[in-house]
Amino acid sequence: MKPQRHTEEGNDLPDLTPMIDIVFLLIVFFMTVATLQVQELIEIDVPIAADAVIPDDRSARAVVTIQNDGALFFGSQPISIDDLSAYVEQAREADPKLKVYIRADAKVPFKNVRKLFSVAAEVGVQNVIFASFQSNK
């Protein structure tokens, strides 16, 4: 018979320090990504539509806003109608599945909104979404 060695009783619990570090890194990562996904939207009165539907897929959107006074924004950046096509084309080249999300104030004449549709069509964007609230029937 072989004599048994007596070892000192050690701490058999696993070291949780690396796992805690990873959890904190994940928390920081998700907080950063969440703040990047929130876009600052320009304040407008969104029109009301009886058949408004919220799209399921909200990815790959270029947000274009037109205010009551005719001011135009790409995201939250002021822009002119002449420069808009270059911005939309650049966004479409980065993501071929790009959708243009038009946010127009309720008091903006449709002829101004039609220009935004034309810009999207000129650069090859086929999916245009128009912002509206759903009416309370």
Task: Give the CATH number of the domain where residue 125 resides.
Answer: 3.30.420.270
Range of the domain at 109: 48-134
In a domain, 61, yes or no: yes
- Residue 14 token pair: 């696993």
Tens-level pLDDT at each residue, the chain (137 residues): 566 665 566 667 788 888 999 999 999 988 877 765 555 677 888 888 777 777 777 677 888 899 988 899 988 889 998 899 898 888 888 888 888 888 889 899 989 889 988 888 898 888 888 888 877 65
- Helix (H) / strand (E) element for 30: namely helix 17-37
In a domain, 127, yes or no: yes
In a domain, 24, yes or no: no
pLDDT of residue 44: 84
In a domain, 76, yes or no: yes
Number of domains in the chain: 1
In a domain, 25, yes or no: no
pTM (two decimals)? 0.64
pLDDT of residue 37: 54
pLDDT of residue 7: 59
Non-local (6+) Cβ contacts of 63 within 8 A are 39, 41, 73, 74, 75, 101, 103
In a domain, 42, yes or no: no
